[in-house]
Amino acid sequence: MQRILLVDDEEQILQLLEMFLEMNGYKPALAFSSQDALKQVSGSAFDLAILDVCLEDGNGFDLARKIKAEHPKLPIVFLTGLSAESDRATGLSIGNAYLVKPFQPDVLLNVIQQQISGSPA
């Protein structure tokens, strides 16, 4: 079963994403902060990370850079409320995909499948 790290400081979003991913055959691990995410990444192997950009203890872009430094091949998907083109450009320069909330669950699932399989998004 493929493992996905979910990082968001909004508990309700994490719970919904957790249920959605489990229903689609993935094993999610939840992190409510950058620090928690970094601990989990250094202690476990993941197939994909889904990060919010705005976190209480930091910036998802900075977190992604730290994760990529340790795990350069780990696909990172940003799932955020930030819709400015400059944010999207920054996210795509660091990660593999950038989705804006609210999002369509089928689109997220498609992006996850493409990133894990290595297919172009």
Half-sphere exposure of 26 (CA within 13 A, CB side): 23
Range of 102's domain? 3-117
Residue with tokens 């609210």: 102
Residue 43: its pLDDT value, please? 83
What number is the average pLDDT over the span 2-14?
95
CATH of the domain at 78: 3.40.50.2300
pTM: 0.94
Q: What are phi and psi of 78, to 5 degrees?
A: -90, 130
Place of tokens 């350069």: 72
Dist CA 52 CA 10 (whole Å): 9
Q: State both tokens at 1.
A: 């079963």
CB atoms within 10 A of CB 44: 10
> pLDDT class for 118, splitting at 50, 70, 90?
confident
Q: What is the pLDDT of residue 120?
A: 56
User: Using one digit for the tens of pLDDT, what is the confidence trace for 12-63?
Assistant: 999 999 999 999 999 999 999 999 999 999 988 999 999 999 999 999 999 9
How many domains does the chain fold into? Answer: 1
